[in-house]
Amino acid sequence: MSTYESDFYGWTQETAQLLRQQRFNEIDLAALIEEVEDMGKSEWRELKNRFIVLIAHLLKWQYQPEHRSNSWKSTIKDQRLRISRLLRENPSLKPKINETIIEAYESGVLQASIETNLDAEIFPTHFEQTNWTIEQILDDVFYPL
């Protein structure tokens, strides 16, 4: 039998087979619990990464109006769509939106700073200082001035 540490793929296949056969006493339960928890965390990480990209592009849109492009608009629309889909498929992530945006904001600022060559200090230090609401950043018609 494969072990969780030495052959992850083999372990997943064997564990799935044991589950199908209802041979529960042969399953590495601790490893299975860890993997199920990690699956949930990966959905949250995806949500956070989508917010990082969205925030970075909204900051770029606001702080470099002379460089606004259809590409930026496309990225903003795409991230909103993907966030919406992710929340629809994982409704239990909705209560974590505020926390996720707050965590994503710093990385969004860093990304915007790198992509614009603007000093990170010109952007608000915290999400709350942007004066954007969560509803606004998820709204298809909102583009900061």
Residue with tokens 């990225």: 75
Q: How far is Cα 55 from Cα 109, in angstroms, rounded to an integer?
A: 7
The 8-class DSSP code of residue 94 comes to G
Q: What is the model's pLDDT at position 141? A: 95
Q: What is the pLDDT of residues 45-88, one digit of tens each?
A: 999 999 999 999 999 999 999 999 999 999 999 999 999 999 99
Average confidence (pLDDT) over 31-52? 92
Residue 12: pLDDT band with limits 50, 70, 90? confident
**58 in Cβ contact with 77 (< 8 Å):** no
Residue with tokens 């298809």: 140
Helix, strand, coil share of the chain (percent; to 5) = 75, 0, 25
Q: Looking at the predicted structure, is the pLDDT value of residue 40 above 90?
A: no
Q: Which residues does 43 contact at the CB level (< 8 Å), separation at least 6?
A: 86, 90, 93
Nearest Cα residue to 60 out of 122, 102, 103, 104: 122
Residue 1: pLDDT band with limits 50, 70, 90? low
Q: Looking at the predicted structure, is the pLDDT value of residue 2 above 80?
A: no
